[in-house]
Amino acid sequence: MSLIERKNGVVTMKPGIDIVASQCAGLKQEFLEIINSGEKKIIIDLSGTEMIDSSGIGLLISIRNSLANNGGGEIELINLTEDLRQLFKVMRLDNHFKIS
Amino acid sequence: MQDFIVREEDSAISCTFSSTLDNVDKAVESIKFFFSSREIHCRQFELIYILREALNNAVIHGNKKNSALKVSCTIGVDQNVVSITVTDQGKGFDWREQIMKGPVSTDSSSGRGLKSMAHFGFEIRFNDSGNTLYLTKKII
C-alpha cells in the first residue's frame, strides 16, 4: 500500500516498492482512486523504487492518459535513481513526464 | 511437482516455475543473489530489466498466465558474455513480424518488452515457433 499525502491541491504518492508486473494491478487501483477523487496534480515519489519494468511504464502512461481524459492534469516523478532516469530517457519518455 | 525449482552451477543458474507474476519476482531475486554471490560484475539494472521483460513475456503472453504451464530460464556467463534462455509452454508467436514492427508510440501503454531488449544492446534470437528466447550480451 502506497503512502499518500494530500497538501494544497497536490497529491504525493510514494509506492515504496518496485513498479513491476506483479504489483501493477494493486497500484493501478490506488492511482484510479486518486484520479476519480478529482485530483489534478499527482507527484509520484520513487524513493524506494529501484525497478520499473515495461508493465510499470505502461501503468504510468495509462494513468497519465486517464488524467488527460478526466479533464487534464499533471504527473511529476521525483526521487528517481540514476538508472530509472536513464530508462525514461532511453524509452523517450522523459518528455512525457515532468521528472525532477 | 514443486511450484518453483532453482538449480545453481558454477557459472549458471536455472529456474523452472509455474506461470505466475509472483514467481517472476522470485526468479529475479534468485538470479540477483546468484550474480552477487559469484561476484559477476555487470550493469545489473539492465540485466534485471531485460530478464523481467523476458520472464513477463513468457508468463503473460506465452503461457497466458496459466499456472499449470511452466517457464524455464537459464542465465550463464562465459568469457564475459552473459546468455539468457527463456522457454515457455505456449504455442509461440510470429516473432519475425514483431521484430519488423516500427518503434512503439510513447503514448502507448504496451508493446515495449521486446523493443527494450534491443535498446540495451542484447542480441535477440528465437527458436522457430517463438516459445524460446535467446539473449546474449558482452558484459565487460
The ranges assigned to domains in chain B are: 4-138
Q: Mutate which of A18, A53, A80 to disrupt the B interface (most B C-beta within 10 Å)? A: A53
Chain A residues 10-49 within an 8 A CB cutoff of chain B: 20-22
pLDDT at residue B28 above 70?
yes
3-state secondary structure at position A71: coil
Position B112 scores a pLDDT of: 74
The domain segmentation of chain A, as residue ranges, is 3-99
Position A20 scores a pLDDT of: 97
Nearest chain A residue to B19, by CA: A22
pLDDT at residue B1 above 70?
no
Burial of B122 (0-12, 13-18, 19+ CB in 10 A): buried
- Please judge whether B53 and A62 are an interchain contact, meaning their C-beta atoms are less than 8 angstroms apart: no
CB of A97 within 8 Å of any CB in chain B? no
pLDDT at residue B113 above 80?
no
Position B64 scores a pLDDT of: 97
Q: Read off φ and ψ for residue B17, nearest 5 degrees.
A: -155, 160
Distance (Å) from the alpha carbon of A11 to chain B's nearest alpha carbon: 23
**B105 vs B73 pLDDT, higher one:** B73
Position B103 scores a pLDDT of: 74
Position B111 scores a pLDDT of: 72
Contact call for residues B110 and B43 (beta carbons, < 8 A): no
Position A49 scores a pLDDT of: 97
Predicted ipTM of the assembly: 0.90
Joined grid coordinates for residue A21:
508486473
Which of A18-22, A64-68, B9-13, B111-115 is the least confident region? B111-115
pLDDT digits (tens, 9 = 90+) for B55-102: 999 999 999 999 999 999 999 999 889 999 999 999 999 998 888 877
pLDDT at residue A16 above 70?
yes
Distance (Å) from the alpha carbon of A6 to chain B's nearest alpha carbon: 27
pLDDT digits (tens, 9 = 90+) for A29-88: 999 999 988 888 999 999 999 999 999 999 999 999 888 888 888 999 999 999 999 999
* DSSP code of residue A40: -
Position B140 scores a pLDDT of: 66
Instruction: Domain B4-138: give its CATH architecture.
Output: 2-Layer Sandwich (3.30)
**A2 vs B117 pLDDT, higher one:** A2
- Residue whose cell numbers read 516455475: B17
Position B16 scores a pLDDT of: 98
pLDDT at residue A25 above 80?
yes
CB of A1 within 8 Å of any CB in chain B? no
Position A14 scores a pLDDT of: 97
Distance (Å) from the alpha carbon of B77 to chain A's nearest alpha carbon: 23
Position B3 scores a pLDDT of: 92
Rounded distance between C-alpha atoms, residue A21 and residue B52, angstroms: 9
Position B131 scores a pLDDT of: 97
Instruction: Domain A3-99: give its CATH architecture.
Output: 2-Layer Sandwich (3.30)
